[in-house]
Amino acid sequence: MLFAGSHRGYRDGDRLTELAGLAAALAGSRERHQETMLLGEAFLTAAQPKRVAYPVAVGAVTGAHGIALEQALAAFLHAYLSQAVSAGIRLGVAGQKDGVAILAGLEAHVMDIAARAARSSLDDLGSATVQADIAGLRHETQQTRLFRS
C-alpha cells in the first residue's frame, strides 16, 4: 500500500513526505527502521540522496519511470521473496532446487497480492504485528545474528 501510494503520487513531494513518515513509523523496531531506511537510501542514491523507507523509494521511482504499478509491485514482491528464500538456502533450511520450487509455487500468490495491492489505498492499511514487532525488538539486542532483521 505504501508502494502503491508512492507510485501514484510520485509527483507530489508533500504526499511522498507523508508516506515516507508513515512508512518509517510502521517499522516496529530500531533495526527494522534502519533496514528499510538503508534499503530506501541505497535504492535512491542514483536518483537523489534522500533517506526514505524502501517501499516509498521503489514506488516513487517506478512511478516516475512509467513502470505499470501492478508489474512493479510483482517485481518488488518477487525480489523480497527471493531474498527470503536465499536466506533459507544459506541457513540450510532448503537446498537450491527446493528454493526454486518455493519461488515457483509462490508466483500465483505474488500476482494476486500485486493485483490487490495495486487496487489498494492507504485506507486499507492496517497493522496487527505485535508479536513480530516484539520479536524484532528482542532480535536487535542479540549478540549473534546473521541478518539485520
Q: In whole angstroms, what is the distance from residue 133 CA to residue 129 CA?
A: 6
3-state helix, strand and coil shares in percent for the chain, rounded to the nearest 5: 70, 0, 30
Q: In whole angstroms, what is the distance from residue 57 CA to residue 50 CA?
A: 9
Helix 54-64 to helix 69-90 angle, to the nearest 10 degrees? 140
pLDDT tens-digit series, residues 62-93 = 988 899 999 999 999 999 999 999 999 998 89
CA end-to-end span of the chain, whole Å? 21
Rg (CA), the chain: 16
pTM given for the model: 0.64
State percent of the chain over pLDDT 90: 36
How many residues are present in the chain?
A: 149
* Residue position matching grid coordinates 501514484: 8
At residue 47, the pLDDT reads 60
Q: Is the pLDDT of residue 43 over 80?
A: no
Alpha helices in 45-68 (DSSP H): 54-64
